[in-house]
């Protein structure tokens, strides 16, 4: 038996067969020619045609059974595979220049993509489609597996080194039973998306990407393990989990402790679609609207109108409710071509988030104007916060920019240790704080959140991180003249969606928790089992613990509900 252990990032237990992610398609050598002693130009050109049409048919077939959101993407890609300019252009090059079918397709696709790039922002996605079609045709010509998420009629366990955001966007949770990567950290966006989709997931499971296709495995997304010898007990646990999935916990829209103490339970969203899910899950509002997710493919700054439209589409869904908009957090794991300098040697420590305003002035001001316009035309209670604030001067500057734009609830994210330690001063100009535990953890532990090898350090249960969360709440109380409700502190990092951690956070003084909508019911259920005094006592024990393992153990021991609910 071989078992792989990594970091469990999304709970769930399943048994299924592995299908690995296809490796990227390698570029054919520049100028590669077909061998005229083996084949003719006509036959080589016919290969181009056959491959392009085979790709088109396969995509159409897949679109017919895909989930609604993916259908349009697949149909657009199918249409592009059928596009005569690509196919005929490549056939012509085979016939006139003697290029191999693979190289001819590569070259013509490159020309089409360059033309689209010259047309600007709105064509970027089409350019990605051309590259995707090119890769699919070349894979077909070589007899290789199509690139990207594998296609399969039967549900499967997807293994990969790591996943690109574009791959995760196409994941069909009805087809993919679980996600296992050999790289990637618990705070990586792969992990975040797995949680959003409710897929059991394990990251940093070294060697798991090499498990042969077709192998039956047992994946435990809470324990962070995969094994290729599936026992009767594993099957029983997987069945038990499936039963619980069929009868999921629900949330009544009012987060409270056992004694009635209010804890707002909010959703993290990336746009209007997520907002719908948040409304359906009865979230009390939005605690983190990651606006940069809307513009990841944009080469140029999106127009005020486009921004206003996107923000309105979210605000309209929360009349009278709080929506915390995070201004563009460009850089590091979320590069935006119009703000990010790709050549930075250390992007996580570079010009990202609020810092971009000094290097590319204007974009932040425009965004605040667009948010203010959208807020004006909607009834949502709009709060705005900047990511990556490190000093009092930065906080004061951001607050001033918000006020100039007419935004009434400016706040700051606490993601940098210096801001947490100086919260008593940093929060004087701001009206609220939201702790981004994902980045706060990576900066406290000096461990890149995307690196699987550092996953153990990248854990918000680390004593240093817990102490900085407490320092933020203590500082906020001071900034609010001794009243914690004057400068409320929320948490919007992934830690807020961990039901055991949620109790600790409330116990140190956190007023609201924001998480992927799917996590809200479990967090609500666990919070309901403790009083504020008990939460404070549990938090004190966690903060006194010398290690992650001891902090987790002492909290679990005080919360039997976790085992009762299988969390």
* Rounded distance between C-alpha atoms, residue 567 and residue 159, angstroms: 24
What's the distance, CA 179 to chain centroid?
14
Burial of 510 (0-12, 13-18, 19+ CB in 10 A): buried
Query: Which of 356, 402, 422, 492 is flagged as catalytic?
Result: 492
Is residue 356 part of the annotated active site? The answer reads no
> Looking only at residues 137 through 196 of this chain, which bind ligand PEP when binding is defined by CB under 6 A?
none
Residue 357 interacts with Mg ion (CB under 5 A)? no
Compute the least distance from the CB of residue 333 to ligand PEP, in Å: 7
**Part in contact with ligand PEP (CB under 6 A); list of ranges 20-28, 175-183, 416-424, 434-442:** 434-442
Which two three-digit tokens encode residue 334?
Answer: 């979320």
Compute the least distance from the CB of residue 438 to Mg ion, in Å: 5
Burial of 170 (0-12, 13-18, 19+ CB in 10 A): middle
CA neighbor of 278 nearest in space, from 330, 313, 327: 313
In sequence order, the β-bridge partners of residue 266 are 514
Smaller CB separation from ligand PEP, 220 or 415: 415
Which two three-digit tokens encode residue 253?
Answer: 């829209």
Compute the least distance from the CB of residue 124 to ligand PEP, in Å: 22
Compute the least distance from the CB of residue 172 to ligand PEP, in Å: 24
Residue 436 interacts with ligand PEP (CB under 6 A)? yes
Residue 530 interacts with ligand PEP (CB under 6 A)? no
220 binds, among Mg ion, ligand PEP, none (CB under 5 to 8 A by kind): none
Compute the least distance from the CB of residue 411 to Mg ion, in Å: 14
Smaller CB separation from ligand PEP, 328 or 539: 328
> Looking only at residues 311 through 340 of this chain, which bind ligand PEP when binding is defined by CB under 6 A?
329
Strands 201-203 and 7-10: antiparallel
The site for Mg ion, by CB under 5 A, has a size of: 3
- Binding-site member from 8, 436, 475, 497 for Mg ion (CB under 5 A): 436
Is residue 309 part of the annotated active site? The answer reads no
Torsion of Cα atoms, 118 then 303 then 314 then 330, to 10°: 70
Compute the least distance from the CB of residue 288 to ligand PEP, in Å: 6
**Part in contact with Mg ion (CB under 5 A); list of ranges 12-20, 23-31, 100-108, 429-437:** 429-437
Query: Which of 189, 356, 402, 473 is flagged as catalytic?
Result: 189
Smaller CB separation from Mg ion, 439 or 494: 439
Handedness of CA 552, 553, 559, 562 (dihedral sign): positive
Q: Where are the beta strands (DSSP E) in 187-317?
A: 201-203, 216-220, 225-227, 264-269, 285-290
- Binding-site member from 18, 139, 211, 288 for ligand PEP (CB under 6 A): 288
First to last CA, the chain: 27
In sequence order, the β-bridge partners of residue 103 are none
Compute the least distance from the CB of residue 536 to ligand PEP, in Å: 24
Residue 439 interacts with ligand PEP (CB under 6 A)? yes
Which two three-digit tokens encode residue 11?
Answer: 């709970």
Q: Do the Cβ atoms of 437 and 494 come closer than 8 Å?
A: yes
Smaller CB separation from Mg ion, 94 or 471: 471
Compute the least distance from the CB of residue 329 to Mg ion, in Å: 6
- Binding-site member from 209, 397, 415, 498 for ligand PEP (CB under 6 A): 415
Residue 352 interacts with ligand PEP (CB under 6 A)? no
Which two three-digit tokens encode residue 490?
Answer: 């929320």
512 binds, among ligand PEP, Mg ion, none (CB under 5 to 8 A by kind): none
- b/e string for 98-133 if b means 16 or more Cβ within 10 A? bbbbbbbbbbbbeebbeebeeeebebbebbebbbbb
492 binds, among Mg ion, ligand PEP, none (CB under 5 to 8 A by kind): ligand PEP
Residue 439 interacts with Mg ion (CB under 5 A)? yes
- Binding-site member from 100, 135, 437, 516 for ligand PEP (CB under 6 A): 437
Q: Do the Cβ atoms of 282 and 251 come closer than 8 Å?
A: yes
Cα–Cα–Cα angle for 542, 436, 369, rounded to 5 degrees: 155
> Looking only at residues 466 through 495 of this chain, which bind ligand PEP when binding is defined by CB under 6 A?
492-493
Torsion of Cα atoms, 52 then 53 then 54 then 59, to 10°: 90
CA atoms within 13 A on the CB side of 472: 32
- Binding-site member from 290, 352, 487, 518 for ligand PEP (CB under 6 A): 290
Q: Which residues bind Mg ion (CB under 5 A)?
A: 415, 436, 439
Question: Catalytic residue positions?
Answer: 189, 492
Q: Which residues bind ligand PEP (CB under 6 A)?
A: 288, 290, 329, 415, 436-439, 492-493
């Amino acid at each position: 038996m071989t078992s792989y252990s990594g970091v469990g990032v999304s709970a769930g237990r399943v048994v299924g067969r592995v299908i690995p992610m296809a490796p990227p398609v390698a570029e054919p050598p520049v100028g590669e020619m077909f061998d005229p002693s083996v084949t003719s130009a006509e036959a080589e050109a016919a290969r181009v045609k056959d491959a392009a049409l085979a790709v088109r048919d396969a995509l159409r077939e897949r679109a017919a059974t895909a989930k609604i959101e993916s259908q349009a993407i697949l149909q657009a890609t199918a249409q592009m595979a059928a596009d005569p300019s690509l196919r005929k252009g490549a056939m012509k090059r085979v016939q006139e220049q003697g290029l191999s079918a693979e190289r001819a397709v590569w070259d013509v696709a490159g020309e089409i993509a360059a033309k689209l790039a010259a047309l600007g922002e709105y064509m970027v996605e089409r350019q990605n489609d051309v590259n995707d079609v090119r890769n699919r045709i070349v894979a077909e010509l070589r007899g290789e597996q199509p690139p990207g998420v594998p296609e399969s009629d039967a549900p499967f366990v997807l293994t990969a080194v790591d996943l690109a955001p574009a791959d995760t966007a196409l994941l069909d949770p009805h087809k993919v039973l679980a996600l296992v990567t050999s790289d990637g950290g618990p705070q990586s966006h792969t992990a975040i998306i797995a949680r959003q989709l409710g897929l059991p997931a394990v990251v940093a499971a070294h060697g798991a990407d090499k498990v042969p296709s077709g192998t039956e495995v047992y994946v435990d997304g809470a324990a962070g393990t995969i094994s290729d010898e599936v026992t009767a007990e594993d099957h029983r646990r997987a069945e038990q989990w499936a039963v619980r999935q069929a009868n999921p916990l629900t949330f009544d829209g009012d987060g409270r402790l056992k004694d009635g103490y209010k804890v707002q339970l909010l959703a993290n969203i990336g746009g209007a679609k997520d907002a719908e899910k948040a409304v359906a899950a009865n979230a009390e509002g939005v605690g983190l609207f990651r606006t940069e997710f809307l513009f990841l493919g944009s080469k140029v700054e999106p127009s005020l109108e486009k921004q206003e439209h996107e923000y309105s589409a979210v605000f309209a869904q929360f009349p009278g409710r709080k929506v915390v908009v995070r201004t563009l957090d460009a850089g590091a794991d979320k590069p935006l071509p119009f703000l990010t300098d790709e050549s930075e040697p250390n992007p996580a420590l570079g010009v990202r988030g609020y810092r971009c305003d000094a290097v590319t002035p204007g974009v932040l001001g425009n965004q605040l104007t667009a948010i203010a316009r959208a807020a004006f035309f909607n009834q949502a209670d709009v709060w705005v916060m900047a990511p990556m604030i490190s000093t009092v001067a930065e906080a004061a500057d951001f607050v001033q920019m918000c006020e100039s734009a007419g935004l009434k609830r400016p706040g700051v994210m606490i993601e940098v240790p210096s801001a947490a330690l100086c919260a008593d001063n940093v929060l004087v100009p701001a009206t609220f704080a939201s702790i981004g535990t994902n980045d706060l953890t990576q900066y406290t532990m000096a461990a890149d959140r995307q690196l699987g090898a550092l996953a153990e350090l990248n854990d918000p249960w680390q004593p240093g991180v817990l102490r900085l969360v407490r320092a933020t709440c203590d500082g906020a109380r001071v900034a609010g003249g001794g009243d914690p409700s004057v400068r409320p502190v929320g948490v919007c990092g992934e830690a807020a969606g961990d039901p055991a951690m949620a109790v600790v956070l409330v116990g140190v003084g956190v007023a609201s928790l924001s998480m992927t909508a799917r996590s809200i019911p479990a967090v609500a259920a666990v919070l309901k089992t403790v009083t504020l005094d008990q939460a404070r006592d549990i938090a004190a024990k966690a903060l006194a613990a010398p290690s992650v393992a001891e902090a987790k153990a002492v909290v679990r021991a005080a919360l039997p509900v976790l085992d009762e609910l299988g969390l």
